[in-house]
Amino acid sequence: MTVEDLGYNGHFEELRLKNNLEDFGFGRVVAEHRERYTVQNGQGEFEAVITGNLRYSANGSEDFPAVGDWVSLIYSDSSFAIIHSVFPRLSSLSRQAVGKLGELQIIATNIDHALLLQAVDRDFSVNRIERYLTLCNSSGIKAIVLLNKIDLISRKSLEKMVGSIHERIKQVPIIPISNVSKEGIEVLDTYLQRGKTFCLLGSSGVGKSSLINNLVGEEVMATGEINKSIDRGKHITTHRELLVTEKGIFIDNPGMREVGIANATDGLEVTFGTLTELSKNCRFNDCTHTTEIGCAITEAIENGEMDRSSYENYLKMQREKEHFESTVAERRKKEKDFGKMLKKYKKDRKSNKY
């Protein structure tokens, strides 16, 4: 395996030289288990931990290595290494960390394409596709929607589904596929490329790992059915894993139940392009598109020119984004106030007030 097969390219080489990292080894993070990382350098895999310096200088979870990252390494022996630094990321897919309001969780980094999977039998939701798209768009990651398990429904139902996505989502390829009949796989194949990174996203049981097996032609990933009533909350895939193949680099993920919007800078604007365009005609610059008179969006909905569910989905995510941002701002303020207090205390102590 070469580093190019792993996704290395001129851009990362430039970063490596610019940051004076010639004396270090380097590799890509292929798995993470609670701050222990598996790094592949083209020759083999290494178990790795981060330097104390990297840990203490980290401002948040986003400064820690994530699956997909290129990192510089200090080898300690043939199977262990220390991660010295994380290369600046080309892209990073993140969401609101589950149960930790105002915190980001990085899903994976340096992704070229996201493969957004939904199963047509019980998982289908255009709202959720828009949600995943927003995550992708806020990081400039191109997305492909894959409607899986089409062997389970009629042609007619499939056409209806594809139509309902097209009504709300433009400019994103939608490929109906089946891991059972293998339909659509050759269409997906045309998007794949050796050395490019594809991140598979979707709920548990939609067939992410099955698709990887199908593309690779062997059972490299565990797959299966989980009895929802007995094993609530379980996943077949339990951790993120980056897999290098002839057809491309695939990042398999455990199914997600929550896709919380975090810092969706531009993500919403891009996902809801029609709505954003329309909003330029609103009477007020700070229109919230809810109760204002002269709102071009509410007007377009009344006229049937704009999809109401899409608009409601937009508002919901916009609120989440604002909530995330205000929580972050509040925390920053607290930290700043604490810093000020500490400074004052030190000053007062110097002048012997205590």
Contact residues: ligand GTP, CB under 6 A: 148-149, 151-152, 178-180, 202, 204-210, 223-225, 235-237, 254-255
- In this complex, which beta carbon is closest to Mg ion, that of residue 36 or of residue 234? 234
CB of residue 209 vs Mg ion: minimum separation in angstroms? Answer: 3
Instruction: Name the one residue in this structure whose structure tokens are 């492909």.
Output: 144
Distance between CA atoms of residues 203 and 235, nearest Å: 9
> What residues numbered 286-325 form the site for Zn ion, per CB under 5 A?
287, 289, 295, 297
CB of residue 254 vs ligand GTP: minimum separation in angstroms? Answer: 5
Chain-centre distance for alpha carbon 294: 36
- In this complex, which beta carbon is closest to Zn ion, that of residue 107 or of residue 300? 300
- In this complex, which beta carbon is closest to ligand GTP, that of residue 63 or of residue 151? 151
- In this complex, which beta carbon is closest to ligand GTP, that of residue 180 or of residue 315? 180
Distance between CA atoms of residues 162 and 147, nearest Å: 9
Percent helix, strand and coil across the chain, each to the nearest 5: 35, 20, 45
Distance between CA atoms of residues 95 and 107, nearest Å: 7
Chain-centre distance for alpha carbon 49: 23
Contact pattern for Mg ion over residues 190 through 229, marking x by CB under 5 A: ------------------xx--------------------
Size of the site for Mg ion (CB under 5 A): 4
CA-to-CA separations, 137 to 63, 112, 353, in angstroms, rounded? 21, 12, 54
- Backbone dihedral angles phi then psi of residue 241, each to the nearest 5 degrees: -150, 135
CB of residue 217 vs ligand GTP: minimum separation in angstroms? Answer: 15
Instruction: Name the one residue in this structure whose structure tokens are 């491309």.
Output: 248
237 is an interface residue for Mg ion by CB under 5 A: yes
Amino acid at 40: Q
148 is an interface residue for Mg ion by CB under 5 A: no
> How many residues does the structure list for the chain?
354
CB of residue 125 vs ligand GTP: minimum separation in angstroms? Answer: 15
313 is an interface residue for Mg ion by CB under 5 A: no
Residues that bind Mg ion (CB under 5 A): 208-209, 236-237
Positions in the binding site for Zn ion (CB under 5 A): 282, 287, 289, 295, 297
